[in-house]
Structure 1
Amino acid sequence: MKEFWNEVIENGLCLDDSYACVHIFTVLERLLPHCKEKDIPELFSPKIAEFLLDKLAKRKDKGRIRQELVSFTLRLPSLVAAFSTASKQLSVLRCLFSSPAYIHFDAITRTKTLANMISSLNGEGIKMYLEWLKELFFKETESADFAGVRRWICRQMLTLMKNPNVPREEGWMMEAAQFFFLHAFFEVKNQANYPPITGDLREEIAQHFYSAVEILSNSPPFHAEPDLRLHGVAPDGTLRAYKLVNHAKTLLSSDSVECLTPFSEEVQEAWETMISTVDKIHKKYSDSTSATAGLAFQLLFLQVGLQTFREPEQCAEILEDLQLCFEKAMGKKDKLKKKTDEPEWMEVIVEILISLLARSSHLLRTVVEHSFKIICSNLTESSLQLILDMFDPDKQKLMSLLSFDGDEESDGEDEELIEEDAALDEDGEGGENKILNGKKSKTEDVDEDEDSDSSDDDDDDEDEETAPVDAAFRKEVMNALGDAGVLKQQEDDSDSDLNDEAMSAFDDTLADVFRTKKKKNQKFDAKLNEETVVHFKLRAFQLLDIFIKKNPDSPLLIKMVYPLLVIAGTVKGQRDAMILAERAAQLLEIKFFKAKKYPQSISKKDIAYISETLEKLMDLQSK
């Protein structure tokens, strides 16, 4: 058999460009189901894999040969799926990866051969494929672009986690996330024989890790009743993020790995406090089948804790603030008596989420949105009203909330909010329309340069002396000084030559210049405050969008219609108002007017509210 295959197939038909070469894969398709696992690499040899790739790569070839080979690749996944053992399935897949260049097989051939084969693997096959990818990650190949091969490996692992067609199991999903975490933030000791991981690759792996966390946190328990447990919870009732934090805790105490960014004393203290608090919450609320205030806080602690490895200093501050909020909220909860059947803790959580959302941080925005996705099904009318209040025309509520945010660095995400969040696609994930046409907000530039508002008067004086002076303002001052300005540059004691009358005139002139400068600064600050309010409201829109998407049949949606209509109709030519109005209009059009699901049962109170809302709309329309 081996001699026949070598002489007739590999050294015969593989060299034939006529239609007869198609018989290679006809024979291969007949033999694969009946051959042993050890014989598969000899049948589906590198030479045959190369021949298949070469023929399929000729996309302009519309002849019968390519058509027959495309048909073969379409049948191959079903053929592999019918194999009795996972190792035999993986053996065929590995034959198509016989060369590093073949990792781009689907892209080169414009087919979905590999993707369909991977999707056809059973649970055991997925585990074995994942283990093989891990081995390949540390096995240097002949490819000149080994870093590119590693990138492909990591993307394949993430693609597996995203693929809804593969059998999802808790074990291999967590292993993939732990693999990303290890190689993103830790250096494995005593592995000198392995090629080093570059900084760019680690950054990409870190992004994959947080994507994996998102997938795990948004997925229901695998092989369990989805409606009985929250998303992000393992079958044993433990939050998956809690397991990842425990894994991080183990690595930090391990002698075999070294953290690439060692924690400072402040960060280490915040991390340990977070671990202690989360452990206490976990013991008290061990049953995660129901949403509780403790579970919501646990989720926030865990998500920020996982982000600590990427932004340690910022996350340490957030953890400290969250700890204070937790102690206050839990203390308040213990003292208050439950007056209604609604979970009063939801109002406290929403207040905390809104306060965190007010800070110019993409990190916090991600954590808040993710946390809200998990607990939004417990939203009450009063907690929803807290979100709607953020769109109140009375900005005193907002400015008091946003007053602490001026000394934070903006990470440039506010501009992205205006461009992406204002344009909503049907999935609620953002669209392609750009409202600002790429115009950058001034918030980022100002926040990066301004000093902390918490400094005392002495510090302010020092900042004034050392801060760079605006060139245009310097020119205005020099023009106001006239000859005295020139004298001042020429000799230090020039002001001693000026009499009292001249000095008084110069004082008045300088006062006018500084008064004008102060007015300009006040206008700029007002503009900055306006932009800050818009950015915050856009983030608040995200919470509404999440709630609508997760709870399309909730009666609370009725409470949103009128406020959104008011926002959508309050365009007065102002750019900021137009941004918010367009966002509200898109929410109404896509999430309400084109909704496939809607509240099926409403109470008499809701009916009365609808009647009242209709009257308000009639009055609003008549104005």
Structure 2
Amino acid sequence: MAGKKRAQTDLAVPEAVPASDASRDDDAAAAEAPAKKKKLAMERKKQRKELDKERHRQSVESDAAKPQPPAAEAAAPVNPPPAPAAAGPGLHMNVFRDLASPEASVREAAAEALVAELREVQKAHEKGARKGDQEAADRDGSSQMEAEKDDGLENCAPSVRYAIRRLIRGISSSREYARQGFALGLAVVLESIRSIRIEALMKLIPNLLEYSSSMKGPEAKDNLLGRLFGFGAIARSGRVSRQWTRDKSSPIVKDFVSEVVELSSKKRYLTEPAVAVILDLVRKLPDEAILSEVLEALGVQDWFNRAADIGDPDALFLALKLQERTSVQKEIFGKLLPCPFSPDNFFAEHHLKSIAACFKESAFCLPRIHSLWLVITEMLVREAASQNDINTSCGKKHKKNKKASSSEDTKKNLRNFCEVVIEGSLLLSSHDRKHLAFNILLSILPKLSPSAIQVVLSSKVVHGLMDILSNESSWLYNAGKHFLNELASVVSHDNDRRAAVIINLQKYSGGRFDSMTKTKTVKQLIGEFQSVEDCLCLVQNLMALFVDEEAVPDEPSDQSQTTDENSEIGPTEEQDPFGHGNVDVLKSWVVNTISCVLKNLKLTSKGNSDSEMVKCIEEKFQVQTEILKFLAVQGLFSASLGTEVTSFELQEKFKWPKNPISTSLRNECIEQLQFLLEDAQKDEALHVASEVKSNDLGYYFMRFINTVCNIPSVSLFRTLSGNDDNAFKKLLAIESLLFQEERKAGPGLDSTKMHVMRYLLIQLLLQVLLHPDEYWEAAVDVTICCKKSFPAIAQGDSSSGQESGERGPQESDEDEPEESDEDGSGDSNGEASLEFMDVLVQTFLSILPHASGPVCFTIEQVFRVFCDDITETGLLDMLRVVKIDLKGRQTDSDDEDDGRVDIEDDETVMEDAEVGEVDDVADDLDEDTEDDSNDEGDADQDDLKDGDKAEATKDGDDSDDSDGMDDDAMFRIDPYIARIFKERNLPGSETKQSQLMRFKLRVLTLLDIYLQRNPGKTLVLEVYSFLMQAFVKSHGADGGEQFRQRIAGILQRRIFKGREYPEGNGIEFSKLERLLEKALRLASRSRYSTVASVAQNAAFWILKIINSMNCSEEELASVVDKFRSILNDYDRKKSRLKLGFVKEVVRRNPWLGQELFGFVVQKVECTGADYRRNQMLELVDCILKSWVGDASEVWTNHLAQLCKLIQEVLSKVPENKSRRKEVRNFCTRILQTVLKLNLKEQFQNAVSPETYSLCQAQLGTAFAPFRKDSN
């Protein structure tokens, strides 16, 4: 038989190689025939492996050919002709190379080519076998060694058998992409060529890819993975499922599953892909085969039984996937799945605990998520999705009930899963498992409803996230940041889901998530609520969080719940625990956040039409009212019966927290109410400019207060004292009357006055509730002012009589003087008006020291419309506040304040050696007095904000200032200043100096408003005088930079640069003379450049007023004397006068220069210092240029003085070259002007011989026209 087989091999035509290769193979086979009989079986096996590889074939042929040289001749007669070899089908070796290509398309093409070639070869092989043509059946000489093995592939062509072995060895290659390509080739070959027996192949794979414990790691891994890929190719080919379908008694499925299960047990990394191979097979099998074949396979039940104890996630994954295909209610999966199986039973708490080990062990494949979690998350969210479908498709009652109960079950399952698996297992374990927990949550969150998100983002999850993000060096820090970013992205397009995330993050962090994690997550999420619907959604959620105390955890954060012994540090000592103590912090965050919602609201109208504007206003008003109702209910009221009250009039239900909120929280609510009303008032000002009617939020608030107060079971949060209660009722009554009169009046100044006064009453009402027994008196005074200003409301006010009857006799007696004043008996209209403004100003001054920003803003708005009627008394009251200091010094007389704080009176004349270069300040002066001064309310608002932020110097002697003050000093201070002294400094509170400074800044804002609206009144001089004195004083120890800048800004912007100024003969010249003298003294002696600069501008302004008056010659002469005085002082050592200022005065007031000319010329003659003499020469030059009228006549009158001046300066020429040049240039300009005015002859007659010789010697060619020999 052996000889026969050898003869057939010699005559065979190779199918896998070309004809030239076939001849060489035949020669090698003939030469090796005698030697093969003597070799052992193991040697034959090794030889077959060597022959299978092309790289060893040549060496085998050369070694075998040497002992048998005649074999070639013997074989020659039986060689087949070349033509048939070329015509038969063959196998090209390049397809195996292409199967390992990195390109998937190349691998697929190679697999198709391999199948096509093998199919042709197999067809030819089968055709020859049917005809009994042994010669045609055994052509492949190169694969004869492969055919000798009993591999069960007898029905296959030799080339097919070779290709199968080549593919099996290829899937064990560690070369990149080789396993994928050869497995693909094996799968398609098995699917196309049915003659390959699967049973034989399942045995051939382990035989070719041997594995033993003695094998090295890489080799063993390659062989094991090769086996797995081989079985995967079998499953993918579909041959196993088709064979079982044809013959259901075949054990092929059981054998296949058993082999794969046995293979998976060899190494841990084989388990998950082995399950994938089994599931690939299961998908091709009918359901009946699952129970009878797959689950009954050898090793499957043992695997399931021990999986729960050892924690095998792959077994659990396989069980869940197989369960989807079975409906038998019996224990076939061990402890992995409950019996009977249902999602509710699977997610039951006790069952999840029993398989918790499986969940923990699934972290081995990070960063990839194990396939098990895809099934788990699908089970969790499947019912939620189906419930959403039911919600949209059905509305019947029984289905609604079923839907509600099913939704509760879904939430229960989700809650159990999070508590047992996420919180109880993964978050308590290693870093990898924590990382896995957050990855699982990210996979679930996009599919959950807002209510389900609140279940997932539990307290332990949030605390764990905070622990990770609070430490940037944490190993999980990047994972935590990624989780937050993905979480924000998931909820970015859904308001309800975004709100749910915000609520949970803040609820379990005590409102401090951003600060503790050092991120801006919550802030950015809140910023995405921009439309009206968005804002209302957020407001509703915040309101629910405020009243829902059960949602806030009482237990402190336990670091052991979220970190293990290998985790990084927990919270520092500065971080408070997330316990009950944070309830107020969380509620405070809610109050502040709900008030800031309007800042994110973006209202965009498609056009500029009034209808579009009205629509935007209505939308914003809708949000404002919701916020207002919440703040009012929580801040002002409390319910006596339960925590929920329904108002039938408003058709709304109001809720309060079960535990009464603290006083500080109520105060926050009231303060936010004030800010809300302030913003509404600012919006109204904008709408007035656009002539679009806006909604009155103040009216809505007051009607809301009245309505809620009338609910029997609702009362104010505190019992008001008699005075506060009286003020509260009066404010409500007067505001209501003002609103009625405002509607009757229609648009106009009176309507505006009533409107701003109403808002002041509303703010004072909140102040009365906010500060017990502090503001009632001011509130009552304002109501009296309202009656004085608007007599119509005094007739309709019945609150005085009712309240006097309700209050006790003592309180009635106290208010009798006020009530008599209200009647206004004995006062004329003019006196009543004066009294009204005085009372109003005094009331403002009593409120401003400690009032909040919104109250100050409202006072400004009231003052803006009433300041035209202010009296001198009221204005002086305000000005005295600006000048006062904590030591009780208050200068009432202008004569006492001459700027001594920064003026030096050294009379020593400066010597020439001490004189320095002084820069000309002409550029520093404000020459342009015609600048626009129409600054509007924006500057006023900035001033108010600056005032609120004022910081004064903290001296250690603050307490000594007040403690050491005598009674007389205290008496001289106004009552509202004395109030500051009565208050002791508390730790962390403002100092008295800072309180006083804030008070001054607020008064300055009112003065700014007055000057803006009344720049031309005579009282502006009083304002200037006081402000200038305060500005000078502010450069002392008690002054502040902000205070100085505010005063300087008001002086420059409102007074000096104003287009209007006091003018006419109604102004006392003596007052102007006194102010000018002080301004000039400051400009010439102040050691502070800022004071000197302001004083110079003040002098320009005062001179402008003087020029507008019809002053007598004596009065003008006194003005000239003031300038002579400062020029006289110019030679003194302590003088800081810059002549650039005097030059500017001369340019603006030429008449003054003419009067000063002679005096200035004399000063040049007597000035010893070269620098100062040159400065005086420049002043003379400036005066000469400023002369107006007939210049020739003026020059003729002063020609003698000029000649004498030339003689004086040329006789004392400075040694310094630049100064000497300045003197010569001055003289040259005089000579040029003389020639220009045709005064040459007069000049020659007036010049003395000495002067003539000096000019001829010093001036050279410039004096040539005046030489006598040139005539």
SS of equivalent to 2:846? coil
Aligned ranges 1:410-425 → 2 under 5 Å? none
**Is the contact made by 2:502 and 2:522 (CA closer than 8 Å) also made in structure 1?**
yes
**Is the contact made by 2:426 and 2:434 (CA closer than 8 Å) also made in structure 1?**
yes
2:687 to 201, 204, 228: 228
Cα drift, residue 542 of structure 1: 0.6
1:189-215 CA distances to partner (integer Å, 9 max, x unpaired)?
2228987646xx532123213321221
Aligned residue in 1 for 2:730? 273
1:355 to 806, 831, 842: 842
* TM-score where L is the length of structure 2: 0.33
**Is the contact made by 1:377 and 1:547 (CA closer than 8 Å) also made in structure 2?**
no
SS of equivalent to 2:712? coil
SS of equivalent to 2:491? helix
Cα drift, residue 161 of structure 1: 0.8
1:123 aligns with 2:538: no
Distance across 1 between alignment mates of 2:963 and 2:596: 34
1:566 aligns with 2:1028: yes
Aligned residue in 2 for 1:69? 480
SS of equivalent to 1:440? helix
**Is the contact made by 2:838 and 2:871 (CA closer than 8 Å) also made in structure 1?**
no
**Is the contact made by 2:882 and 2:1004 (CA closer than 8 Å) also made in structure 1?**
no
2:496 to 87, 105, 129: 87
Distance across 2 between alignment mates of 1:324 and 1:210: 25
Cα drift, residue 56 of structure 1: 1.2
Aligned residue in 2 for 1:106? 514
Distance across 2 between alignment mates of 1:616 and 1:95: 64
1:378-403 CA distances to partner (integer Å, 9 max, x unpaired)?
47677598776346579999xxxxxx
> Residue type matched to 2:638 in 1?
E
Q: Which moved more, 1:120-129 or 1:9-18?
A: 9-18
1:262 aligns with 2:719: yes
> Residue type matched to 1:209 in 2?
C
**Is the contact made by 1:356 and 1:368 (CA closer than 8 Å) also made in structure 2?**
no
Q: In 2 relative to 1, CA 537–354 (structure 1 residues): closer, same or farther, beyond 3 Å? A: farther
> Residue type matched to 2:739 in 1?
H
> Residue type matched to 1:273 in 2?
K
Q: In 2 relative to 1, CA 88–569 (structure 1 residues): closer, same or farther, beyond 3 Å? A: closer
Distance across 2 between alignment mates of 1:53 and 1:96: 9
1:161 aligns with 2:595: yes
1:282 aligns with 2:716: no
Aligned ranges 1:343-492 → 2 under 5 Å? 351-359=838-846, 369-375=856-862, 378=865, 383=870, 389-390=876-877, 427-434=946-953, 436-437=955-956, 439-440=958-959
Distance across 1 between alignment mates of 2:881 and 2:599: 50
Q: Which of 1 and 2 has higher RCO (CA within 8 Å, sep 6+)?
A: 1
Distance across 2 between alignment mates of 1:151 and 1:91: 19
**Is the contact made by 1:426 and 1:590 (CA closer than 8 Å) also made in structure 2?**
no
Q: In 2 relative to 1, CA 265–27 (structure 1 residues): closer, same or farther, beyond 3 Å? A: closer
Distance across 1 between alignment mates of 2:459 and 2:721: 52
Q: Which moved more, 1:376-385 or 1:318-327?
A: 376-385
Aligned residue in 2 for 1:400? none
Q: In 2 relative to 1, CA 440–90 (structure 1 residues): closer, same or farther, beyond 3 Å? A: same
Distance across 2 between alignment mates of 1:18 and 1:139: 29
Distance across 1 between alignment mates of 2:977 and 2:758: 33
Aligned ranges 1:189-204 → 2 under 5 Å? 189-191=640-642, 197=659, 201-204=661-664
Distance across 1 between alignment mates of 2:748 and 2:973: 47
Distance across 1 between alignment mates of 2:437 and 2:1012: 56
Cα drift, residue 27 of structure 1: 6.5
SS of equivalent to 2:554? coil
Aligned residue in 2 for 1:403? none
> Residue type matched to 1:541 in 2?
L
Which ranges of structure 1 fall in alignment gaps of 5 or more residues? 335-344, 398-423, 447-519
> Residue type matched to 1:91 in 2?
A
Q: In 2 relative to 1, CA 67–571 (structure 1 residues): closer, same or farther, beyond 3 Å? A: same
**Is the contact made by 1:296 and 1:349 (CA closer than 8 Å) also made in structure 2?**
no
Cα drift, residue 237 of structure 1: 3.4
Distance across 2 between alignment mates of 1:432 and 1:584: 10
SS of equivalent to 2:523? helix
SS of equivalent to 2:958? coil
Distance across 1 between alignment mates of 2:1012 and 2:500: 48
SS of equivalent to 1:191? coil
**Is the contact made by 2:764 and 2:775 (CA closer than 8 Å) also made in structure 1?**
yes
Aligned residue in 2 for 1:134? 546
Distance across 1 between alignment mates of 2:855 and 2:454: 50
**Is the contact made by 1:76 and 1:117 (CA closer than 8 Å) also made in structure 2?**
no
1:252 to 686, 709, 712: 709
> Residue type matched to 1:53 in 2?
M
Aligned residue in 2 for 1:238? 696
Cα drift, residue 285 of structure 1: 1.0
**Is the contact made by 2:638 and 2:714 (CA closer than 8 Å) also made in structure 1?**
yes
SS of equivalent to 1:359? helix
SS of equivalent to 2:1033? coil
**Is the contact made by 1:138 and 1:195 (CA closer than 8 Å) also made in structure 2?**
no
Distance across 1 between alignment mates of 2:523 and 2:497: 17
Q: Which moved more, 1:288-297 or 1:359-368?
A: 359-368
**Is the contact made by 1:245 and 1:306 (CA closer than 8 Å) also made in structure 2?**
no
> Residue type matched to 1:566 in 2?
M
> Residue type matched to 1:245 in 2?
M
Cα drift, residue 368 of structure 1: 5.6
1:55-78 CA distances to partner (integer Å, 9 max, x unpaired)?
2122343x5x31342254245445
SS of equivalent to 1:605? coil
SS of equivalent to 1:187? strand
Aligned residue in 2 for 1:3? 376
SS of equivalent to 1:142? coil
> Residue type matched to 1:605 in 2?
E
Which ranges of structure 2 fall in alignment gaps of 5 or more residues? 1-373, 381-416, 557-578, 603-619, 645-655, 795-831, 885-942, 981-994, 1065-1093, 1104-1121, 1127-1136, 1138-1271
2:781 to 300, 306, 321: 321
SS of equivalent to 2:666? helix
2:1060 to 602, 605, 608: 605
Aligned residue in 1 for 2:89? none
1:57 to 467, 470, 474: 470
Aligned residue in 2 for 1:585? 1044
The percent identity for this pair of structures is 14
Aligned-residue Cα RMSD (Å) equals: 5.5
Aligned residues between the structures? 494
Aligned ranges 1:283-298 → 2 under 5 Å? 283-286=740-743, 292-298=752-758
Distance across 2 between alignment mates of 1:288 and 1:206: 37
Distance across 1 between alignment mates of 2:445 and 2:736: 53
1:560-588 CA distances to partner (integer Å, 9 max, x unpaired)?
99557613444399x8xx64686641314
Q: In 2 relative to 1, CA 524–570 (structure 1 residues): closer, same or farther, beyond 3 Å? A: same
Distance across 2 between alignment mates of 1:95 and 1:272: 42
Distance across 2 between alignment mates of 1:529 and 1:39: 61
Distance across 2 between alignment mates of 1:112 and 1:238: 35
**Is the contact made by 1:106 and 1:114 (CA closer than 8 Å) also made in structure 2?**
yes
Distance across 2 between alignment mates of 1:44 and 1:396: 59
* TM-score where L is the length of structure 1: 0.61
Distance across 2 between alignment mates of 1:551 and 1:3: 73
Distance across 1 between alignment mates of 2:755 and 2:835: 13
Aligned ranges 1:32-47 → 2 under 5 Å? 32-33=445-446, 35-37=448-450, 39-41=452-454, 44=457
Distance across 2 between alignment mates of 1:51 and 1:435: 43
Distance across 1 between alignment mates of 2:443 and 2:1015: 60
> Residue type matched to 1:56 in 2?
L
SS of equivalent to 1:292? helix
Cα drift, residue 297 of structure 1: 2.6
